[in-house]
Structure 1
Amino acid sequence: MNSDYAATELAEPNLRALLGTAGLDVEYVRGEGNTLFRLGADGQEIPVLDFAGGYGSLLFGHSHPEIIARARQLLDEGTPVHAQFSSHPYANRLAAELNRIVHRETGTTEPYYATFANSGAEAIEAAVKHAELDRVLRLGELLERIAAGAERAREAVADGSAVVPDSLFTRLRTEPPAAGQDRTEAVLAAVAAHNAEPGSRPPLFLALEGGFHGKLMGSVQLTHNPGYREPFDALGVRTRFVPEGRADLLKEIAAEEGATLLEPVVEDGEIRLAEHRAPVFCAFLLEPIQGEGGIRPLTQEGARAVDEFRAATGCPVVVDEVQSGMGRTGALLASAALGLRGDYYVLAKSLGGGIAKASVMLVHESCYRPQFELVHSSTFAKDSFSCHIALKVLELLEADGGSAYRRAAERGEALKAMLDRVRLAFPTVAAEVRGRGLMLGFEFRDQSDSPDQVLGEAARTGMIGYVLAGHLLHAHRIRTFPTASAPHTLRFEPSLLLTDEEIGRLETALTDVCALVRDRASDRLVTSS
């Protein structure tokens, strides 16, 4: 290897430098359970308690022995990764097992068809593409129906079995043609003019304020944080962001953005107009618990508002369970506890057991379009290795009557109780503890006006959470991060292996951090070791 090149930082050097300002640019050499190991100056391993948990990817911890054993077996057997465009029975078994659990948790019985991918953002994009294909096909089917209706109207007027009443022109807000001109063609032209605008509109997406759905070209336009989204506005889809629970605003959007298509029909010897709801809304995306938005759970009220909007507009709902799903809140789907039913579900992160890059988009039978399978593909998706690892993850979740779900819920309650104790002990520092199960957030009060120059500047530049995380790492050997769009909120997403001793270690460390902020004692910050 050329040492000159190796000495130059070429792999995202700006990010590396940014991490370095908070002391977070450390290299980890091994992971086990809830522990990552880095090397000290003497070459010895230094254990670090990992509460970041791969941003929710490690429900079973680092290097879970049963998952690793299954991976070794698959690799030793030479299981194919690249066998595209062939039969994948293991992928079908995985889809069937996911269906079984989703049906149990939601009470539904209709199938969900699976499209596999490599990451959460990629699976979100698959859901968005599928929803748009479905919208376009529904629109095309409706326009074909309208065209057939127009032809029937022509024939009925031509054979004398129907007439064109003046009321049609009033409804279409156009003047009747002069005597001797073709009234039928005048009406049909007005109908076509009315239908042209909604029939040619680009798709409209809705998403919740604070939501995060990825940073790819399409998914970033569905992510609320303007810092991620706005540089790429010219590339993106049209999205309207709405506050959670605002049923009144959703009704306004339905009225403002909704449109009808008109179909000529023959009834009682007259040409009349039937109204059809134009499919202008492509999808409504939401997270049951917003991860990067600050670990903010969706409320029952918010879920009801989304359901009402779906019923009023026909807009399908994409439930993004990338972080919250796979047992982290005590169920495969965090949305199940809200009674929210997705037309699409997206699962990722812990689906891969901490080692496979795996995700899946599930689409309900009522929305499913078989054509999608021919216009969308991914080289590494649906491979034998990742599917078998995901099957092992589901086996571990479902074992012993679902004891893993119960443990995740119980460990989450114990962790939340500790975070609440710290919050109550520091009311001027800690604002709120949020989340469910093993997906929790600890929000600090805004320190932008702190007389401590270091803390104040860190807060004003959005670095406060990273600075505090650096102190936790180097002073207490605990690893976590803030959430991307809520830098005052530290995230805690450990595995279900979490012990009382580890919770106690975090309590000691978090108490120290809160005291440091309360006392405006940035001189005590430790961001290197």
Structure 2
Amino acid sequence: MNPESADAELAEPYLRGLLASAGLDVEYVRGEGNTLYRLDAQGQETPVLDYAGGYGSLIFGHNNPEIVARARELLDGSVPVHAQFSSHPYANRLAAELNRIVHRELGVDEPYYATFANSGAEAIEAAVKHAELDRVLRLSETLAELAAGVEEARAAVGDGSATVPDAVYAHLATERPAGDPLAPVIDEITRRNGERAAKAPVFLALEGGFHGKLMGSVQLTHNEAYRAPFAALGVRARFVPRGRPEALDEVLAQERGVLLGLAVEGGEVRVVEREHPVFCAFLLEPIQGEGGIQPLSDADARIIQEFADATDCPLILDEIQSGLGRTGTLLASSQMGLRGDYYTLAKSLGGGLAKASVMLVRQTRYRAQFELVHSSTFAKDAFSCHIALKVLEMLERDGGQAYRQASERGAALQATLEKVRTAFPDVVKEVRGRGLMLGFEFHDQSQAEHPAIREAAGGGLFGYVIAGHLLHGHSIRTFPTASAVNTLRFEPSVLLTDEEIGRLEEALTDVCVILREQAGERLVLSS
């Protein structure tokens, strides 16, 4: 064995090199609260204030003592992690508690059935698969209903109780035959229905949205760099711009189609139409995470809800990053008046320890057979379910104190970010978000005077270079959002203190001074 092989980078070496170019390739050895620890050159722990928060996975911070104690209790008790294909009462309790909170926030009592998974992207895949199963079954039911109507019309014409008027042939652009009057009619209906039913389902998603990088979910993510290499493998998605209500009308006009059948009324056969369920689902984040921390406006939320209701297009609300109390409620979308047919939750559901996610589907959409065609080796296990129950218990405790804390701490953090923006309007473009999910966007620096700043911006690394400076110059950790690299993300836990907010204000002020003065040589990317 080559003794040097131990030092070779075999775990995603290109990514490691990319991190190194911005000074972000550091190893963290411990975490607690909003703090991660790395070792300095002397091997001593150096605290780093973590504002990335596991991309929104740490509503109660790193290694929360109460959650860790519950995890130890479970492991010390030899809780079975692998007990597949058996009764899982703890999973049912978790689903019931999620339902209780969802019902309270939405003001409804319709059950939502739970399918558990291991990550956010897997929950999205489960929702998409279920939505397509539901669409296919609805399509089959509609076609069967229409076929039955055709047979009834055939029988009525055969026994002389009904005739075929010229309007039927005109409707289908066929001619009356010399023989069986329904033969060309049925042939044309069969042909048209076959063509329409064979059309691929259409998925709708918002421009700027991010729903994962798995084979299906990546095609629902707007960033073309993620989608394009795998386009031949994925589903067909149409991306809808925010703030353009007419865009949905355009999509409907282009995609809408009907299925045809026959009915007998007043002794005459007539052509009937049924809507073809072409839309599989509309996926959206109430607050786009990787798209730059972009909250959905109330106007857009209302338009999307109205479109979904009018077209019977299921809404999949991706609450993977925005949910679990981060904006002051379990569901950020509940503050916007949205009612999802599906919800996906993950990240903080695992309390920072377990890898857990869930897809919730409302009873009126639920298809029982989905449970037989979709499964997971690791999902719905006792450990992750009990940890998730502990997270919900902590969120709901003391009348929802954690929700109020997220709102209050988020407001304090946002006020500080706005203070910096106001002081540097030439540097900072906008502060966005809700609660403890905030974005801080810089103006474009691709034409900056200083070459280091200009080259970083031109190469798509601006946000990462700024993050490197915050890390090495101020011991603060954050990252830009994946598809909007001029926007830094701030997603700390509810444990955020005024002192920690003050440290961030000082650090961002330093960054803004460097950018205003075009003093790129002062950027610190190592320590």
Pairwise TM-score range, normalised by the shorter structure? over 0.9
Per-residue Cα deviation, 1:332-380 (whole angstroms, up to 9, x for no partner): 0000000000000000000000000000000011110000000000110
Residues 245 and 305 in structure 1, CA contact (< 8 A), matched pair in contact too = no
Q: Name the counterpart of 1:91.
A: 91
Distance 2:266 2:255 in 1: 33
Q: Name the counterpart of 2:486.
A: 488
Which amino acid in 2 is paired with 1:56? G
Per-residue Cα deviation, 1:274-333 (whole angstroms, up to 9, x for no partner): 211101110000000000000000011111121122123211010000000000000000
2:467 match: secondary structure: helix
Which amino acid in 1 is paired with 2:90? Y
Query: Runs of 5+ in structure 1 lacking a partner?
Result: none
Q: What's the CA shift for 1:411?
A: 0.2
Q: CA distance change for structure 1 residues 2 and 99 in 2, over 3 Å: closer, same or farther?
A: farther
Q: What's the CA shift for 1:471?
A: 0.3
2:496 match: secondary structure: coil
Q: Name the counterpart of 1:67.
A: 67
Q: What's the CA shift for 1:173?
A: 2.0
Per-residue Cα deviation, 1:169-189 (whole angstroms, up to 9, x for no partner): 111122222xx3211112111
Distance 2:306 2:173 in 1: 32
Larger CA deviation: 370-379 vs 303-312: 303-312
Residues 254 and 309 in structure 1, CA contact (< 8 A), matched pair in contact too = no
Per-residue Cα deviation, 1:145-195 (whole angstroms, up to 9, x for no partner): 111111111111111111111101111122222xx3211112111211221
1:32-43 map, 5 Å = 32-43=32-43
Per-residue Cα deviation, 1:43-66 (whole angstroms, up to 9, x for no partner): 110000000000000000001010
Q: Name the counterpart of 1:521.
A: 519
Q: What's the CA shift for 1:473?
A: 0.2
Residues 246 and 305 in structure 1, CA contact (< 8 A), matched pair in contact too = no
1:301 equivalent in alignment to 2:310: no
Which amino acid in 2 is paired with 1:258? R
Q: What's the CA shift for 1:2?
A: 7.0
For these two proteins, the number of residue pairs brought into alignment is 527
Distance 1:188 1:311 in 2: 32
Per-residue Cα deviation, 1:475-509 (whole angstroms, up to 9, x for no partner): 10000000000000000000000000000000000
Residues 221 and 236 in structure 1, CA contact (< 8 A), matched pair in contact too = yes
Which amino acid in 1 is paired with 2:405? R
Which amino acid in 2 is paired with 1:213? H
Q: Name the counterpart of 2:439.
A: 441
Q: What's the CA shift for 1:226?
A: 0.4
Residues 139 and 276 in structure 2, CA contact (< 8 A), matched pair in contact too = yes
Q: Name the counterpart of 1:125.
A: 125
Q: What's the CA shift for 1:3?
A: 4.1
Q: What's the CA shift for 1:197?
A: 1.8
Q: Name the counterpart of 1:150.
A: 150
1:26 equivalent in alignment to 2:26: yes
Larger CA deviation: 271-280 vs 32-41: 271-280
Distance 1:102 1:328 in 2: 15
Residues 174 and 184 in structure 2, CA contact (< 8 A), matched pair in contact too = no
Q: What's the CA shift for 1:4?
A: 3.0
1:183 match: secondary structure: coil
Q: Name the counterpart of 1:378.
A: 376
1:342 equivalent in alignment to 2:340: yes
2:6 match: secondary structure: helix
1:3-22 map, 5 Å = 3-22=3-22
Q: What's the CA shift for 1:420?
A: 0.1
1:198 match: secondary structure: helix
Which amino acid in 2 is paired with 1:230? A
Distance 2:362 2:245 in 1: 25
TM-score, normalised by the number of residues in structure 2:
0.99
Q: Name the counterpart of 1:425.
A: 423
Q: Name the counterpart of 2:103.
A: 103
TM-score, normalised by the number of residues in structure 1:
0.99
Q: Name the counterpart of 1:275.
A: 273
Distance 1:197 1:482 in 2: 45
Distance 1:98 1:308 in 2: 26
Q: What's the CA shift for 1:33?
A: 0.2
Distance 1:306 1:433 in 2: 25
Q: Identity of aligned pairs, percent?
A: 70
Q: What's the CA shift for 1:5?
A: 2.7
Query: Runs of 5+ in structure 2 lacking a partner?
Result: none
Q: Name the counterpart of 1:227.
A: 225
Distance 1:81 1:40 in 2: 37
Residues 287 and 319 in structure 1, CA contact (< 8 A), matched pair in contact too = yes
1:101 match: secondary structure: helix
1:266 equivalent in alignment to 2:257: no
1:454 equivalent in alignment to 2:432: no
Which amino acid in 1 is paired with 2:166? D
Q: Name the counterpart of 1:49.
A: 49
Q: Name the counterpart of 1:183.
A: 181
Larger CA deviation: 425-434 vs 193-202: 193-202
